[in-house]
Chains A and B, each alone.
Chain A
């Protein structure tokens, strides 16, 4: 840094961050209190048994790790493959229209990618998982953990289709003016992509990408049907062998929340941190409660 940021503004930013943390912790606490109150009421009514849940929750830890691991591997591999597919979807038509030499490769690639995206988005994830798992377990019979890896493959195939569209939209949202400016200072196409288009579009697609991860994580529950020992399998097994299905599925739901809420909190934090100052709608800030208001100013309308 060449310039020193003003100390007062640092203080204000710090206070605002504290307020945000307090607020999000408040919401989280409210959710937890709601669930616990609900459980206690149901326990008193004899509908669920809290002691059963306290006794058996560790049974779900390994399956939860399996679900988390399968989702994350599928998401990351899908990400790496979806970026180039998103590029083809975003810029393919233009390359073909300009009759550039690359058209020979790009035109069929665009057709294939579009077909892939439509096929994935147009069929239920459940069907894709059953189909791919059946095919993969037959093709790779005898390999260790073949069901798990077949499941990961199915999730990957699914998320590629969605992520490719997220990237396409993200790349297209970066204006031609930005690209022209980058060209005008002599940047090469790959440099323009890496230093201009990608950083700008990643900020925009952070939220849709998070949604995709959350959706994929919840879709991993379907892997139960193809013999993957993930959360849903564990809940079902526990519930019906111990004859406490309601408690078991409460636990399952609780584990999903436990993983998804911190993730979305983390992403919100990242969004605030990577925000470009002055760009877009200002951050929502709460009117400060503490401190006397000047008597002359009219009372601010409540939110």
Chain B
């Protein structure tokens, strides 16, 4: 469904992605792990064209989308994103945060948009916080609203960029709970995370990235139990303790 082929990205002289390939099938959960600075977030941002690759292709359903003929806004409607720092619109209530995409991007009438938004908030367990502003919510609640905002547009896949890294343990459980439910429902997901427990139980495939390259890939069982490269072995022993 989503694929990257030979993706390169430079930030100035820094070679951040050095020819990355990946494929996610419909309904699969792909988890990307690796030390910080390895290019995980940049790769994820390439998939919805928040970062435009310098070389290589991003494909959605086999169609090359990093192409001047394809509007990046269209691509981003197909692929939702959840950020490490939530990035809820601070001047809008939880409900309005979810509504705005439906109204402005999908051009939906207000009543329909609010109905859908409330349903999405219910799905993440926050219907009672619809009228709260982001600053009045806990981190975990904010992140769940952010997930609802991404889901409301009915995307083909959702990208998660370290969605629990800024959260306390209780909020991490809340957010991971919502993500596991989503995975169960068959949502296609690409997740950059340090939550190895989540990777082990939910991932169909795990990629290990370092220095802008994918060094290993496999099922969580294979990769965590029998890492083949020294880098992966060191990383796995460190994060699994």
Q: Which residues of A contact B130 (CB under 8 A)?
A: 2-3
Q: Which of B74, B90, B153 contacts A279 (CB 8 A)?
A: B90
Task: Give Cα A278–Cα B92 distance, bound, in whole angstroms.
Answer: 12
Q: Which residues of A contact B80 (CB under 8 A)?
A: 184-185
Known contacts A185-B149, A191-B104; decide if A180 and B50 are in contact (CB<8 Å): yes
Distance of A157 from chain B, by nearest CB (Å): 32
Distance of B67 from chain A, by nearest CB (Å): 16
Q: Which residues of A contact B100 (CB under 8 A)?
A: 185, 187, 195
Asked if A277 and B133 sit within 8 Å, CB to CB, the answer is yes
Q: Which residues of A contact B146 (CB under 8 A)?
A: 181
Interface size class of B (residues with CB under 8 A): 35 or more
Closest to A274 in B: B91
Interface: A276 (CB within 8 A): yes
Distance of A6 from chain B, by nearest CB (Å): 11
Closest to A185 in B: B101
Interface size class of A (residues with CB under 8 A): 20 to 34
CB contacts between A and B, total, < 8 Å: 86
Interface: B55 (CB within 8 A): no
Task: Give Cα A270–Cα B48 distance, bound, in whole angstroms.
Answer: 39
Closest to A192 in B: B104
Asked if A177 and B105 sit within 8 Å, CB to CB, the answer is no
Distance of A2 from chain B, by nearest CB (Å): 6
Task: Give Cα A188–Cα B118 distance, bound, in whole angstroms.
Answer: 24
Interface: B23 (CB within 8 A): no
Known contacts A2-B114, A3-B131, A278-B135; decide if A181 and B105 are in contact (CB<8 Å): no
Asked if A180 and B76 sit within 8 Å, CB to CB, the answer is no
Beta-carbon contacts under 8 Å, A159-196 to B: 175, 177-178, 180-188, 191, 195-196
Known contacts A185-B101, A186-B73, A195-B104; decide if A277 and B50 are in contact (CB<8 Å): no
Distance of B22 from chain A, by nearest CB (Å): 19
Closest to A194 in B: B104
Known contacts A182-B89, A184-B76; decide if A2 and B105 are in contact (CB<8 Å): no
Interface: B87 (CB within 8 A): yes
Interface: B209 (CB within 8 A): no
Asked if B133 and A187 sit within 8 Å, CB to CB, the answer is no
Asked if B50 and A187 sit within 8 Å, CB to CB, the answer is no
Interface: B85 (CB within 8 A): yes
Beta-carbon contacts under 8 Å, A274-293 to B: 276-279
Interface string of A31-65 (1 = CB under 8 A from B): 00000000000000000000000000000000000
Task: Give Cα A217–Cα B133 distance, bound, in whole angstroms.
Answer: 37
Distance of A200 from chain B, by nearest CB (Å): 5
Asked if B87 and A277 sit within 8 Å, CB to CB, the answer is no
Interface string of B28-63 (1 = CB under 8 A from A): 000000000000000000001010000000000000
Task: Give Cα A191–Cα B105 distance, bound, in whole angstroms.
Answer: 9
Distance of B120 from chain A, by nearest CB (Å): 12
Interface: A199 (CB within 8 A): yes
Distance of B121 from chain A, by nearest CB (Å): 10
From A191, A203, A278, residue with most partner B Cβ within 10 Å: A278
Q: Which residues of A contact B50 (CB under 8 A)?
A: 180, 183-184
Distance of A46 from chain B, by nearest CB (Å): 58
Interface string of B68-90 (1 = CB under 8 A from A): 00001110110011010101111
Enumerate 15 A-B pairs (CB-CB under 8 Å) in ascending A order.
A177-B87, A178-B87, A180-B83, A183-B73, A184-B50, A184-B76, A185-B76, A185-B150, A186-B76, A187-B100, A191-B104, A200-B89, A276-B90, A276-B135, A279-B135
**Nearest 7 pairs of A and B residues by beta carbon:** A278-B135, A181-B87, A186-B77, A185-B101, A278-B136, A184-B81, A177-B87
Contacts A181-B89, A196-B89, A277-B133 known; list 12 others, CB within 8 Å. A178-B89, A181-B149, A183-B73, A185-B77, A185-B100, A186-B105, A187-B101, A187-B105, A188-B73, A203-B91, A277-B132, A279-B133
